[in-house]
Amino acid sequence: MTTTYTTISFELIDGIGHLQLNQPPSNEMTLDFFSELAQITEEMHSVSEMKALVISGKGRHFSSGARLTELIPTTWDGKTGTAVLSGSEIEKFLERNNRSFLFLENLEIPVISAIRGVCLGSALEIALFTHFRFCGEDAVFGLPETTFHLIPGIGGISRIAALSGIANALEIVLRGNTFPAEDALKMNIVDLILPRREVVQRAIEFVKSLPADYRKEKSRLYLRRYINHQKGSILYIENS
């Protein structure tokens, strides 16, 4: 892949794809980001040598989510109280983003999010579509859309409900509160908590340890084997 992106960086090292959200310090997901994500996932179809994919954010944070100063004016005129885009146009926008997220979920190779700092809104949604989620002890999660009179629109509600149950999903969405890594682990939203400086490297180490005949349905088995193998050598809080 030789395309140059402005909001995302991608490189392939020893068969491991590294997709990095690249708009520090908070790596906001702008309209350009969603457009480039759709482009990069389409181009990934031709990267046959990629054996795994690691997603992270540049700098201290994974991402603070969508840039609302772009998103809201694009879809809604606050002065007149009318929609800028029609219902079908908004639906197409969300469907395109959902296709990008589904592409990551449907990859037959392991896909892992390495999360440090904040992971909010659309950023949490994209992480929920990956096969594994490792995070630092400083990570902060949330779906704050309802505090802006919006709802998570790219699959976050159904993914949290599947991982953590409907009651937790409703509370997370309706309250819009942020919550720490420990709570995310208890709710099965993340798989492992690590020292923040080690998250990306440990994610790379983990995907390299997976078998060539990787199967998504065996994700819990792979994770358990990794944890058992690493006991005594890494700091982690195991999800029981």
39-56 pLDDT per residue, tens: 999 999 888 899 999 999
pLDDT higher than threshold 90 for residue 205 = yes
How far CA 87 is from CA of 148, 158, 173, in Å, comes to 19, 21, 22
User: What are the strands, taking DSSP E only, across 105-157?
Assistant: 111-115, 118-120, 132-136, 140-142
SS3 label, residue 209: helix
Six token digits for residue 25: 């310090």
Q: What is the distance, to the nearest Å, from the Cα of residue 65 to the centroid of all Cα atoms in its chain?
A: 10
> What pTM did the predictor assign?
0.88
What pLDDT is stored for residue 28 in this prediction? 96
- Mean pLDDT, the chain, whole residue set: 88
What pLDDT is stored for residue 161 in this prediction? 96
67-119 pLDDT per residue, tens: 877 765 554 444 554 444 445 566 677 788 889 999 999 999 999 999 999 99
Neighbour count for residue 135 (Cβ, 10 Å):
29
The partner residues of 179 in beta bridges, in order of sequence, read 141
25-38 pLDDT per residue, tens: 999 999 999 999 99
What pLDDT is stored for residue 1 in this prediction? 55
Domain interval for residue 108: 8-230
What is the pLDDT confidence band of residue 133, given thresholds at 50, 70 and 90? very high
Residue 240 lies inside a defined structural domain of this protein: no
The DSSP secondary-structure symbol of 82 reads E
CA distance 40 to 56: 15
Six token digits for residue 62: 């994974």
User: In CATH, what number is assigned to the domain containing residue 217?
Assistant: 3.90.226.10
What's the total number of domains in the chain?
1
Residue 2 lies inside a defined structural domain of this protein: no
Six token digits for residue 17: 């794809």
